[in-house]
Amino acid sequence: MRKFVLLMVLVIFAAGLTVTGCSKAKGQAEVALKAAEKAISEVKPEAEKIVPDQIKALEATLSGAKEKFGKGDYSAALSDAQAIPGKVKEIVASLNAKKDELAKTWTNLDQGLPKMMEAIKSRVGILSKSKKLPANMTKEKFEEAKSELDNALKDWETAKESFKGGKLAEAVTKGNAVKEKAAQVLQILGMPVPAAAKS
């Protein structure tokens, strides 16, 4: 009888330890998940504009960790969640590098595109006064050039609006599209396409 009581005490003690350990692991996992969630939410607004794939991958890791937590696999959830803040740091580094690159590209576009546009506007203005178009240009081609110039000018304004609104990646994408359009117009007009607009 004494042995049985002793055994029962041991079993209860062991069960208590297990419950305590489990509860501790659950608590740690909960804390780690909250920290991971917070780390992601701090960079997400900017990251999803500039490095969307990387932030999506990290969110998937967080979802996976939450799923493991839900299934009671606290240690796996803890391990996954603890890795997230480090990955967030990597995203921040990547984000900053990309922002620098975009800022340089935008500065380049902002300095160069107006020159291209002015050259095109000047030529279109002169050709509009011409009694006859040059030998290698049809009326249809000239009309196309005028129309594309109008579109490029409008698109450039929207690109500048994006930049003013802090949407750097969007501004650069739009600016590059304007560059391509302007290069096409130059070709239609028989004018040289600047080296910077060829890349």
Partner 1 sequence: MKRIFRGRIEKGGKGVSEEDVKEKGGSDSWSAEQWHEVKKGDTLSKIAERYYGDGSLYMKIFEANRNILRDPNLIKVGQKLRIP
Radius of gyration from C-alpha coordinates of the chain: 31
Cβ nearer to partner 1, comparing 69 with 106: 106
124-146 burial code (b ≥16 CB/10 A, e <16): beebeeeeeeeeebeeeebeebb
Q: How far is the CB of 187 from partner 1 (least distance, A)?
A: 11
Site string for partner 1, 88-107 (x = CB under 8 A): --------------------
Angle at 9 between CA 8 and CA 15, to 5 degrees: 90
Cβ nearer to partner 1, comparing 35 with 119: 119
Q: How far is the CB of 119 from partner 1 (least distance, A)?
A: 4
CA–CA gap between residue 189 and residue 187 (Å, rounded): 5
Write down the residue that tokens 């560059």 correspond to.
179
Enumerate residues 6+ apart whose C-beta is below 8 A from 173: none
Per CB under 8 A, does 120 bind partner 1?
A: yes
Q: How far is the CB of 164 from partner 1 (least distance, A)?
A: 22
CA dihedral over 44, 50, 52, 58, signed as positive or negative:
negative
Cβ nearer to partner 1, comparing 102 with 189: 189
Q: Which of residues 138-197 bind partner 1 (CB under 8 A)?
A: 186, 190-197
Per CB under 8 A, does 127 bind partner 1?
A: yes
Per CB under 8 A, does 76 bind partner 1?
A: no
Would you state the structure tokens that stand for residue 23, as one six-digit string? 């509860």
Chain positions contacting partner 1, by CB under 8 A: 111-113, 115-116, 119-120, 122-123, 126-127, 129-135, 137, 186, 190-197
